[in-house]
Chains A and B, each alone.
Chain A
Amino acid sequence: MEDLRFQHRVRARAGGTRRSAIVGVVASGNLEVLVERILPDAECAVDIKTAAIGFGEVWTAVIGDFVERYSPGGLKFSINDGGARPDTVSLRLAQAVRLIAENGQ
C-alpha cells in the first residue's frame, strides 16, 4: 500500500449543493472515490490509498489535469484504489464531480 496526498489551489468553487457522494467500487483495476464538500472554496485535496506502489508521478499528472479541467473548489476526494488504470481514475473523479454537482443532500 502507498499513501499519497495532493493539495491544489483552484480558481472556482465546484457547482451544486450536495455535501458528499461516492462513486466506483474497490476492486482489482477499479477504485472508490468519496467526495466531500468540506474545504474552503479555493482549495481542493485528494487523499489516495493505493494498492499499486511507485506510480506517484502518474498520479501527480492525473490529479493535476483533473484539477485544471474541473476546478473542483471546496472538495476533498478520498480514493481507495485497487490498481486502477489512469483513465479509469480520471473517469471516476469526473463522475464524482458530476454527482456532487447535483442539488440536494
Chain B
Amino acid sequence: MTTWQNNRAARDARIAAGAGLAHGKVVEAHDATRLLEAVIRPGDRVCLEGDNQKQADLLSRALLAVDLSRISDLHMVQSGVVLPEHLDLFDRGVAKRLDYAYSGPQSARIARMLFGGKIELGAVHTYLELFARYFIDLTPQVALIAAVSADREGNLYTGPNTEDTPTVVEATAFKDGIVIAQVNEIVETVPRVDIPADRVHFIVKSDKPFFVEPLFTRDPAAITEGQILTAMLAIKGIYAPYGVQRLNHGIGFSTAAIELLLPTFGERLGLKGRIATHFALNPHPALIPAIESGWVRQIHSFGSEVGMDDYIRARSDVYFTGPDGSLRSNRAFCQSAGLYACDMFIGSTLQIDLRGNSSTVTTSRIAGFGGAPNMGADARGRRHPSEPWLKAGAEADPDGAALMRRGRKLVVQIGETFGDKNVPLFVERLDALELAEKLNLELAPIMIYGDDVTHIVTEEGVANLLLCRTAQEREQAIRGVAGYTDVGRRRDHGMVAHLRERGVIRRPEDIGINPLDADRSLLAARSIKDLVRWSGGLYAPPSKFRNW
C-alpha cells in the first residue's frame, strides 16, 4: 500500500529522538552535539545558517564535534561559508557536498579544498537563486539557525539581522524538516515574533551572542582621490542623465564615495530629490550624511550593520522597522526588490574582460557571488516602466517601437583601472576560466555577464556599452576606459576617438569634471568620527573594518 506521509513520520521520529535532551523545546548548550546526533541522519541536506553577516556559530561547533559513526557525508546548503568551522566540517568528513552563495573570508581556503577534492561542489549561487532551490530541489532536512532571543514556546526574535532566517525556516519547517535555533537569551516575551513557535522544534541557549560580521562599514579616511573622481563621474555622468532614483549600491569604496558626495557635489548639481531616493541596501554608515541631509526617502535592507541599530531605530521613516522599533531585514525580499524594483546596480569587481564579463574569482580565491549577479542582472520578468529603464532600453535599441521595447536595468561596474598592489582591473581572459578548466566545472563562475553590463566607470571616463553596436565597438569602448593597463594600452586610438565623438566614451572633461577637483574636501564625512557626528551620536562604530 502506498503511504503518503513518510516524511512527516520521519520528522516526528527525529523530534522524538531529540526530545529526551530537551526541557520543552530548550536544550542546554553542552547537549547541543548530542541533540544534533539524535536528529540528523547521514547524508541529510543541512542548512547551517551562515548568512552574509549573522552566523549560527555555536551550532557550527556542535556539528563539527559529532560522532562520525553516526553522522557523515552531509550535504550543506547554506548561503554563506564564512566561519572556519564551516570548512572544518568537510575536512573532518562530517559533510561532503556543498551548495552555497558567498564565502568572503574563507575564499582562499575553499579554493584549496576544492582543488584538493575535499569538497564536492554543487554550484556557486546567487542568494536568491539558492533560496529558490530551497523550495525546489535543495530543501533542507535540518536547519540550524541563529536568533537573538526566544520565549519558552519557541517564538523567535531575530532582530535587525533577520537576514535569511525566515526563508530557511519556511523551506525547512513546511516540508517536514527540523528547525533548531541557537539564541542569545531566553525571555518571557520576545520583542516581536519574527519566527512563530510552531516552526521551531528545539532551542539552544548560547553562552555568548552569535557572531556578526561588520561587512558594510567603509572608513571615509581610506577613500582616495581616484575613487572620488570615479564617484563624481558616476553621479554626473550616469545618475543625473538617467534620473536614477531607485537603486542598489555595492560595498566598495567607490560607492561609499558616491554616498558621501551626494550632500556636497550632488547638492551643487541640484540633484537632491531627483536621484538616489529609494534604496535596496544594507544600512551603510556612509549614507548617514545623505540621509541627514534629506536625500533618502526609503531603504529596505538585506541585513543590518554593526553599530547602526540605534540610528536605524531613530530613523524609522527611512528604514523598515518592527513594532519593537528595531530594523527588520530580509535578504530574500530585499534581493527581489533589487531585482525587480531598482533601476540601477552599481558596484565594483576584481576583473573585467574585453566583453564586459566580470568576476571576483581569481585562481587562488573563490569568494562566491552573494547578491551581485542578481542585482547586476536585467530582470526579464519586469513589466513596469520608469524613466531610467526606458531610456536605457531606447539607447540599446533606438529603432525599436517604443511601446514594444523592453527597458534595460542600468548595471554599472565602477572601479579604478588598477586595484590593490597594482593589479589591473581589466584582463584579456578572466581567471574564472582557468579555475573552471582546472576544476572541470561545467560553468565558469562569472559574477556579472557582459551582456548585462551597461556602463563601466573608471578614472579615465565612462563607457556606455548600451550604445555599442558591434562586439568590436564594445571591446574598444572597454579598452578606452582601461587606462594604463595592458588592455588599455592596446586600444585602437582611432576607434576610441570615434567612440568618444559618439558619446560611447565620455572623458571627465566631456562631462564637465576637472580631475583636479577630485579632492577629499568634497566628502561629506572624512572619517568615521565625522559619521558619528552626522548621526548625532546614534551611530556606534565597530572596532574593526574590512577592506574589499
Contacts and interface: CB of A to CB of B under 8 A. Distances in A.
Interface string A27-42: 0000000000000000
Contacts of A57: 489
Nearest to B422: A85
Given A58-B484, A61-B484, A61-B489, A88 B516 contact: no
Contacts of A62: 484
B515 interface: yes
Interface string B466-501: 000000000000000001100001000000000000
A48 interface: no
B516 A85 contact: no
Interface string A51-74: 010010110011000000000000
Contact of B416 (A83, A85, A94): A85
B459 interface: yes
Contacts of A91: 225-226, 229, 515-516, 518
Interface in B69-125: none
A78 interface: no
Nearest to A85: B418
Chain A interface extent, by class? 10 to 19
A87 B460 CA distance: 8
A86 interface: yes
B485 to A, nearest CB: 8
Interface string A75-90: 0000000010111100
A87 B489 contact: no
B483 A86 contact: yes
B516 A86 contact: no
Contacts of B489: 57-58, 61
A70 to B, nearest CB: 11
Contacts of A61: 484, 489
B417 interface: yes
Given A58-B484, A91-B225, A98 B459 contact: no
Kindly name the residue among B418, B422, B484 whose own CB sees the greatest number of chain A CB atoms within 10 A: B484
Interface in B188-245: 224-226, 229
Contacts of B418: 85-87
B226 A83 contact: no
Given A61-B489, A62-B484, A87 B416 contact: yes
A23 to B, nearest CB: 11
B465 to A, nearest CB: 21
A87 B226 contact: yes
Interface in B401-427: 416-418, 422
13 contacts: A57-B489, A61-B484, A85-B416, A85-B417, A85-B418, A86-B418, A87-B226, A87-B417, A88-B224, A91-B226, A91-B229, A91-B518, A98-B516
Interface of B: 224-226, 229, 416-418, 422, 459-460, 483-484, 489, 515-516, 518
Given A91-B515, A95-B516, 4 more contacts: A58-B484, A85-B416, A87-B418, A88-B226
